[in-house]
Each structure stands twice: as C-alpha cells, then as structure tokens.
Amino acid sequence: MLPDFLSLLAISFTAGILGAMTGIGGGIVLIPVLTLIGVPIKYAIAASIMSTIATSSGSASAYVRDRLSNIRIGMYLEMFTVPGAILGATIAVILPTRYDFILFFSFAAVLLVSWQQLLFRRKGEEHPFVEKQDRVSRWLGMEGIYFEKSSNKWICYKANRAAQGGAAMFGVGIIAGLLGIGAGALKVSVMDLIMRMSSKVSTTTSNFIIGVTALAGSSVFLAAGLVNVGLVAPVMMGVTVGAIVGTRLLVKMRNSQIRVMFLFVLLSLALEMILRGAGVLH
C-alpha cells in the first residue's frame, strides 16, 4: 500500500531542494525514505529515476540562464552517461528480488566513496587552477567564466583530463541506471576531482547532465512495468517545486557551505542504506 499523497509530496519537496542545492539529484534522498516507509526498492528506483528528470529540468534551466552550467562540457559527458544508464537500468530490472540487498549495499558504497573523496579534498580548492590543459580538453574548448555572487567577482576556469572524465562518467551512468539516483554525487566528484572544475560549476553542470541520464534509464523501467503512476505523480510534483526553491538558495551560498551540506547528506543516507541492506531496518 502506498503512502498518502501529502506525505509523498512533502518527502519529494525536501528531496528536490537537497538535490538541486548539492547537485546530487533528489533520488539520493527519495530512495532511502521511500523504502523506509514500505515501498519496494525497484518501484522506488523507478519513481526516483522518473522524478530525477523533473528535478534536473527544474534546476538546470535556472543554472543555464545564470550561466553557471557549462553546456559544452555537459553535452560531452552525456555521450558516456547515457549508454551507461541504459546498461545499469537493464541490470536492475533483471536482478531477482531476493538479491535486492545488493542494490542497498551498492547504493551505500557509492555514497561512502563520494563522501570519502570529498572529505579529504584539500582546502583552498573551491576554484582549482589548471595551469595547462591536456590536448583533448583544449581541443574540446572545456573552459568558461561565471559570476560569483557571494564574492562579487568573475571566476574563470578550465577543465582538464576530458578523456579520463568521459571514461569515469560511463561507470557513473551504469550506477545511475542501476540505482535510479541520477548519480549526481559521483558526477560532481568526477568533475571536481578528475577534471579539476570549480565546485559550483560541477554542481550546476551535474544538474544539466542528470536529466538526460535519467531519461535514458527510465525508458528501461517503463518498459518493465515498474513505473507506478500513483507513486510517480506526487513525487515528480514535489521534486520539481523543491528544485526551483533549491536553485534560488544555491546561488546565494558559498562553495564551502554547499560542500559541508553535501558531506552530511551523503554520510547520513549511506548509513541508512547499510542498515536496510543488513535487514536491521525493514
């Protein structure tokens, strides 16, 4: 039996805010909460990946308007995340129910790896300086500029290691399709840690990529009959409104504040999913 409409709306609204502000997508909050209140994990994944499309659409449009998202970099990385998402969603659909614990532990592992990487990132790296781009990144024109409202100045940046970033994003796409989370946490990590992009640009470009990745994965769940309209409708409404609110809060915050929030959310949800996979929480 599904939770009531207003409860789903409230949960998804909160998820939309967090997803937009951190670039991790609302699904990373939705799935743990939905499974906690009794929704089977595969239906939660299907609802999440559908709602992720709405989250990305609601937040990405504002970021593109404010010139925070780098569309060139985003479209390049989408070439790798889309086939990965289709492969990951296919694996999730054919996985027998008795092995659902694999999904829980996989979810937790993804969150913990991202949390560890960003926790030990060196201070003073909010706007990484790339002295010399590699040949591929330079040929693709992976650079940009945006206005930082919190410091009232223009920030120039260059991305690096485009080939390595693309390969990593294929793996991220598999995880996105498998877990229905948009994998914004990992997308941000790849752009931050491998491609050396500014935190705020990584977050906003992640939102731009998430929607296309989710659309590819959702087609597999839709074909498998795992999309429940009664569940998806309030969830999509909530995350869309939440994403709009979240984007307005993001542009007024410092990168360091976003990072602290990001780390807290990742750790809390990782611990919950471990308990769910171990059968401690039902």
Beta-bridge mates of residue 148:
153
Rounded mean pLDDT for each run of 10 residues along the chain, 282 residues in total = 80 78 68 80 87 67 68 89 93 84 81 71 51 79 73 76 90 86 77 81 80 86 88 86 77 67 75 76 57
Q: Which two tokens stand for residue 60?
A: 């990405």
* pLDDT on residue 123: 47
CA distance readout (Å), 111 to 131, 170, 179, 187 = 31, 17, 11, 12
Q: Are 261 and 22 in contact (CB under 8 A)?
A: yes
Helix orientation angle between 229-250 and 41-65, rounded to the nearest 10 degrees: 30
Rounded to whole angstroms, the Cα distance separating 168 from 130 reads 19
The DSSP 8-state label assigned to residue 190 in this structure reads I
Q: Is 146 helix (H, G, I), strand (E, B) or coil?
A: strand
Rounded to whole angstroms, the Cα distance separating 270 from 216 reads 25
* pLDDT on residue 74: 85
Q: Is 154 helix (H, G, I), strand (E, B) or coil?
A: strand
**Maximum C-alpha span of the chain:** 57
* pLDDT on residue 242: 82
Task: Give the position of tokens 């659902």.
Answer: 100
- In 3D space, the residue among 7, 24, 5, 26 whose CA is nearest the CA of residue 16 turns out to be 26
